[in-house]
Amino acid sequence: MPCMTKLQFKNKWVLVTGASSGLGAEIARQLAANHGANLILLARRKDKLEQLKSELEGNTGVKVKLLIADLSKPGEVDQALDDILADDQLYAAVLNAAITHFGPHRDLSWTEYETMLQTNVNAVVRMTNRLTTYFENNNHEGGLMIVSSMAALIPIPYQAVYSGTKSFLLGFATALRFELKNKNFSITVFTPGGIETEMTEGEKFNDLRNWLTPVSQVAKDGLNAFEKRKLTHIPGFSNKMGAFLIKLLGRKFILTRMSSIYKSSLLKSEKSK
């Protein structure tokens, strides 16, 4: 489904969810500094968003709007969407917000499980439905990037629910793109591997640090794929090799090895407490 041109973010309004830290914050920084985009930043933590707004407006001169919302709550998702689309100026959106659990699946309470599903799946589908309808019905130019994960391609033991949510997003969004009628609107699915962010700072990840990629590089790769309207994108040689090896060596072999490595990292963090 070819689109006419690359996305052009300069002076356009771009939504970034999960923008208070990590990959979302870095994507916002690069959209402002390297692409000149005006930003709608959405997250739960008002203080973090206000700090980022001040930084971006001061350093780059772009315009920044803030939306404080908990995406695990459908009412707040709908209110945020009303605010985002009210002035009919949205050009693009990066749906990045997500939460994870690293540890034995049995340790996850039902409340935590539901919160993860609401944030990682329900909110993304709810926002995608509304945003896709907006671009399709109005025939506006633009794009939507959904941040999935390598965990969608190589399910991660001890992050079972997270892997499941990201696998859902990959299948949902790639299929949906082929239903689009507006040739100037595209959906991209970005599948990064482990990233050096606030989410991976804890001791549980100590033995996994060599697998983590600097957040600045991941954000740059994602925005490049988004700009080019790629259907899906795996960033980095090691991630591409991982996707190849699971086909070559088999899912059972790779997941057995990963289970052993992740379990060892978890056990070491427990012993250090």
**Catalytic residue selected from 134, 158, 162, 262:** 162
Helix segments in 209-250, DSSP class H: 215-227, 237-249
Which of 177, 193, 191 lies closest to 225 in space, CA to CA? 191
Identify whether 158 is a catalytic site residue.
no
Pair 203, 269: CB distance under 8 Å:
yes
**What b/e sequence results for 49-63 when a residue is b if at least 16 CB atoms lie within 10 Å of its CB, and e otherwise?**
beebbeebeeebebe
Q: What is the DSSP letter of 118?
A: I
Q: Cβ of 212: how many Cβ atoms within 10 Å?
A: 15
Q: How far is CA 42 from CA 39, 91, 100, in A?
A: 10, 16, 18
Which sequence positions are flagged as catalytic? 162
